[in-house]
Amino acid sequence: MPLETLLPIGGAMATIVILWSYNYWRAALKLAFVLVLVEGAIRKWFVPQGQELVYFGKDLLLIGAYIRFYLSPDPEIRAWRLNVPATLVILLCLGAGVSALNPNIGAPVLALIGIKGYFMYIPMAFMMPYLFRTRDELLRQATYFAMLATPICLLGFLQWRSDRFSVINTFAAGMNEGGATGFGFGDKARITGTFSYITGHSTFVLFFLGLHVALLLTNLSKIKRTWLLFNLPLLVANGLMGGSRSAIYGMVMVIGGLILFSTTYRLGSNAKALANLALAGLVVAIGGSYFFYDAFVMWSTRKEVSGDTVQTRVVDQAKIASEMAFETVGMAGFGIGTSMPVTQQLRNAFGIPKPRRPPPPMDHELTQVVVEMGLFCAGLWYTLRLLILGLSFRYFKQCRDDELRPLILVCFLLQLPYFYLSVVLNHTANFLLWGFIGITLIPSLGPTVFRRALTRSRGQSTHGVALDTTIK
């Protein structure tokens, strides 16, 4: 379809989506969470010619929801507020966003793409505490969301058992065994599930393993608990079949953090919480080793033959990347978004000239941020990230709800590996990270004006999220 025809059609569809999400902002936000899990499959198999439209679909849902929530909120929303340093967060975002004014970018539309990559999902974090009216609604719908892992993991298993050039291994087709989609040996393709890229799939298994374990520490029905326990070895196996070392190391970090904090803080609403955690670990060990031993062999062999270690990947690469960035970039940087693949596609599509100073090749997120933003704005960006991390830990300690505390802790722990792993270029991680950060802000939610009638309607005595976590 020619661009002249595609643009008005896309514009009309975008308008419809924005208007709908404006009127149903809660449903739009929840739909965006589902769409981020399946958009890769839609792009790969159903509408490969309209990949850009599908890619921006969840963002259109968020635009309408943002307009409604921030510019025309319901009275119900106005009655509650977040006790967070919003002014400081806004100032840090504005300061880091100054890099969008860099003339090296070449076009305002490309600067907007860069702003989207860094800041698009931050407002969503401050909407999440208002998304669910009660604690029970949050946990119930989070459980349903976690159950979506089952079909995605089963698809990953089918990809693993299929030929690397099969239609369900579209991303791997045409790649040799030493390429990014192979293990470097053998004829197995690294699976991507319903995601367009391996990084999206590795993000999925890491976030959903943490979500599963947190929910298993709450009161669940036997059916839901059995379902989540069944998913655990599937998630670990999908991480192994994806070949991502960072996903497996991230899982170890999250589970280790849960065990560590369980020695100091009460996790879960009953005495069986730690027993459930131990049972989850046993299920993963037995199920994974018995049913997916070949995946473990491929993953461990890839780890051994790669020639690097945790030290080289985490410490040495970060050091080299930082040194290269400091030597190359200066204070101004090359411009926000200049290294993003989508900006290169837009330059080709609209005939926008290349930047006068093209950014150097990078393979590390820290390098990319410093090269694009410059030293000053990159410093503000990571100050923002550290501020959010500190707030998440603060609200975890403030949380008095035994049902919510494991989920908030997991959402805090998931931020730690993503100071190293890609966020800006990994739109799956970008979306899920800020969405999960929003869960950690729930304990800061309190009534603007305390009213007895409002308390009863929102909290139902002891089940409201805000009442359980903020009213002292």
Mean pLDDT, residues 12-38: 92
3-state helix vs strand vs coil in the chain, percent to 5: 70, 0, 25
461: confidence class by pLDDT, cuts 50, 70, 90: very low
Rounded-to-integer distance, Cα 270 and Cα 354, Å = 60
pLDDT at residue number 385: 96
Give 81's strand partners. 446
Between the CA of residue 374 and those of 93, 265, 308, 326, 422, what are the distances in Å?
14, 40, 29, 9, 18
Q: In this structure, are residues 254 and 206 in contact, taking their beta carbons and an 8 Å threshold?
A: yes
Residues 6+ apart with CB under 8 A from 54: 39, 42, 43, 47
Mean pLDDT, residues 156-167: 79
Give the tens place of pLDDT for each residue, 259-295.
888 888 777 655 566 666 677 777 777 766 666 766 6
Segment of 28-32, 192-196, 331-335, 343-347 carrying the highest mean pLDDT: 28-32
pLDDT at residue number 270: 53
Q: Of 331, 338, 325, which is closest to residue 371 (Cα–Cα)?
A: 325
160: confidence class by pLDDT, cuts 50, 70, 90: confident
In the chain, % of residues over pLDDT 90: 33
Q: Mean pLDDT of all residues in the chain?
A: 81
Q: Of 343, 423, 314, 312, which is closest to residue 100 (Cα–Cα)?
A: 343
| From 153-157, 363-367, 373-377, the region with the lowest mean pLDDT | 363-367
Token readout for 144 is 């349903």
Q: In this structure, are residues 143 and 151 in contact, taking their beta carbons and an 8 Å threshold?
A: no
Mean pLDDT, residues 403-427: 91
Pure H helices in 242-292 = 245-262, 273-291
Rounded-to-integer distance, Cα 186 and Cα 467, Å = 56
Query: 10 Å Cβ neighbour count for 77?
Result: 16
pLDDT at residue number 462: 37
- State yes or no: pLDDT of 240 exceeds 50: yes
pLDDT at residue number 441: 95
Mean pLDDT, residues 115-122: 94
Token readout for 13 is 């569809």
pLDDT at residue number 185: 52
Query: 10 Å Cβ neighbour count for 281?
Result: 14
Burial of 14 (0-12, 13-18, 19+ CB in 10 A): middle
470: confidence class by pLDDT, cuts 50, 70, 90: very low
Give the tens place of pLDDT for each residue, 311-339.
666 666 667 666 766 676 667 788 888 88
pLDDT at residue number 262: 81
Which is more confident, 21 or 39? 21
- State yes or no: pLDDT of 469 exceeds 50: no
Maximum CA extent, the chain = 67
pLDDT at residue number 125: 96
51: confidence class by pLDDT, cuts 50, 70, 90: low
Q: In this structure, are residues 14 and 60 in contact, taking their beta carbons and an 8 Å threshold?
A: yes
- State yes or no: pLDDT of 46 exceeds 80: no
Token readout for 218 is 């709450």
Between the CA of residue 332 and those of 117, 230, 357, 378, what are the distances in Å?
18, 50, 12, 10
Mean pLDDT, residues 149-174: 78
pTM: 0.86
pLDDT at residue number 53: 66
Q: Of 126, 124, 31, 139, which is closest to residue 80 (Cα–Cα)?
A: 126
Q: In this structure, are residues 169 and 155 in contact, taking their beta carbons and an 8 Å threshold?
A: no
Rounded-to-integer distance, Cα 135 and Cα 183, Å = 43
